[in-house]
């Protein structure tokens, strides 16, 4: 699981930012309701007002090429989950980095990536999510039509949420794997016949 990245060490926080970071840590520690993943993305949206936020799981662990979103928000509203390829996207090298931040020029850098062009996204932040063995699990992505400002502060907020998100995603992945196992489905089908 991720540790706070070195880029945070040289950031001077305002009192408001320090207070927000403390609130975020308290939220992570105290939240015990259902669907932490969606609530965490909505929490982040309320603070940052970012156009698009999503959490995704790796669909093919060996190649790390596809992401299946488990939470997707657009302007704070939950949207349908999708499966997409990391190939030719800004995120294709995300597992080589701890934190990716592109403050502007996103759609110009990836003109063939229709999703970015359709929504006119210009700025993004991406962070790889890892399991307990530090193996790739999924990603967290923030996309915005304007510059995502205060990159260090946004990174700190994400880092406060990430350990719990990784734990919840790992649990979701295990549950999803077992609930969709072919042998389980065929056993259930045979029992019902």
pLDDT in tens, 68-110: 999 999 999 999 998 888 776 767 777 777 888 988 888 888 7
pLDDT in tens, 126-175: 999 999 998 889 999 999 999 998 889 999 999 999 999 999 999 877 66
Question: Which H/E stretch holds residue 47?
Answer: helix 36-48
With beta carbons less than 8 A apart as the criterion, state whether 162 and 1 touch. Answer: yes
Q: Give CA–CA dist 24/47, Å, rounded.
A: 10
With beta carbons less than 8 A apart as the criterion, state whether 177 and 67 touch. Answer: no
Interacting residues of 139 by C-beta distance below 8 A, sequence separation 6+: 55, 56, 67, 91, 94, 126, 127, 128, 129
3-state secondary structure of 142: strand
Using only C-alpha atoms, the chain has a radius of gyration, in whole angstroms, of 18
- Stated pTM of the model: 0.80
Question: Comparing C-alpha atoms, which of 69, 72, 76, 84 is closest to residue 51?
Answer: 76
Main-chain phi, psi angles of 190, to 5 degrees: -65, -35
Two tokens, residue 150: 């205060």
Domains and CATH numbers, the chain: 14-192 (3.30.450.40)
């Amino acid at each position: 699981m991720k540790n706070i990245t070195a880029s945070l060490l040289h950031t001077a926080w305002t009192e408001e930012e320090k207070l927000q970071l403390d609130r975020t840590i308290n939220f992570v520690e105290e939240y015990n309701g259902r669907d932490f993943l969606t609530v965490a993305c909505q929490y982040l949206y309320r603070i940052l007002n970012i156009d698009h936020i999503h959490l995704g799981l790796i669909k093919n662990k060996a190649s790390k090429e596809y992401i299946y979103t488990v939470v997707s928000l657009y302007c704070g509203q939950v949207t349908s989950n999708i499966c997409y390829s990391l190939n030719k996207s800004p995120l294709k090298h995300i597992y080589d980095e701890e934190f990716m931040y592109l403050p502007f020029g996103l759609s110009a850098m990836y003109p063939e990536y229709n999703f970015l062009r359709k929504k006119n996204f210009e700025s993004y932040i991406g962070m790889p999510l890892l399991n307990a063995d530090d193996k790739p699990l999924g990603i967290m992505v923030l996309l915005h039509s304007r510059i995502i400002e205060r990159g260090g502060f946004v990174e700190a907020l994400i880092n406060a949420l990430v350990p719990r998100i990784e734990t919840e995603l790992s649990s979701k992945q295990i549950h999803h794997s077992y609930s969709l196992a072919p042998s389980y489905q065929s056993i259930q089908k045979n029992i019902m016949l």
